């Protein structure tokens, strides 16, 4: 049975990125570090059950927003903690729950309830949520729920 593993291309920071992500997410583990002539060539690690591979491939390729990691969160505390960790040390917030970490990788830190609210058959409720969300950088679950409930 085939498997799909995200493969991340870094200049020289694959091991540093792996360690950063492993420290950011509670359920994480380092699987392997492959070296060639004493230098890290690639790493494998797992975040919240998702296996990833990273390569030190040189400066030829950069991350863009065309690919991002979507992180569904149950609570505002999860959103706040991940947002703070991923924007630390040179990361940058963006709009509507998006951010870039210090390596330039894009993440979406999203409350799981948002999809349900935006998909509500009541277009007025969904519209209120959308309008509030569009004004946010880090998403605020309580404000989204207030908009959904018409408060």
Rounded CA-CA distance 43/7 in Å is 10
Query: Whole-angstrom distance between the N-terminal and C-terminal Cα of the chain?
Result: 49
Task: Give the pair of three-digit tokens for residue 106.
Answer: 């894009």
Q: What CATH number does the domain located at 1-61 have?
A: 3.10.180.10
pLDDT at 24: 98
Question: Mind listing the pLDDT tens digit for each residue in 26-70?
Answer: 999 999 999 999 999 999 999 999 999 999 999 999 999 999 999
pLDDT in tens, 72-81: 999 999 999 9
Domain 63-151 -> CATH class: alpha beta
> What's the mean pLDDT when you consider all of the chain?
97
Helices (H), ranges, 25-150: 76-87, 113-118, 123-133, 141-148
Mean pLDDT in residue range 6-21: 98
Under 8 Å between Cβ of 53 and 42: yes
Where are the domains positioned within the chain?
1-61, 63-151
pLDDT of residue 32: 98
Q: How confident is the model at residue 135 (pLDDT cuts 50, 70, 90)?
A: very high
Largest CA distance in the chain: 62
> For a pLDDT cut of 90, what percent of the chain falls above it?
99
Q: Which neighbouring-strand residues pair with 50?
A: 47
What is the model's pLDDT at position 105?
98
- 63-151: same fold as 1-61? yes
């Amino acid at each position: 049975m085939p498997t799909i593993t995200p493969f991340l291309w870094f200049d020289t920071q694959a091991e540093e990125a792996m360690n950063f992500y492993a420290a950011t997410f509670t359920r994480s583990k380092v699987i392997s570090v492959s070296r060639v002539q004493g230098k890290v060539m690639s790493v494998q690690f797992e975040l919240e059950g998702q296996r990833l591979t990273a390569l030190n491939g040189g400066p030829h390729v950069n991350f863009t927003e065309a690919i991002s990691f979507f992180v569904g969160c149950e609570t505002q505390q999860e959103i706040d903690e991940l947002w703070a960790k991923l924007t630390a040390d040179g990361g940058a917030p963006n709009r509507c729950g998006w951010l870039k970490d210090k390596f330039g990788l894009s993440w979406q830190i999203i409350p799981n309830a948002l999809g349900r609210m935006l998909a509500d058959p009541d277009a007025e409720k969904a519209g209120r949520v959308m309008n509030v969300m569009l004004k946010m950088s880090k998403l605020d679950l309580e404000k989204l729920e207030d908009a959904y409930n018409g408060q």
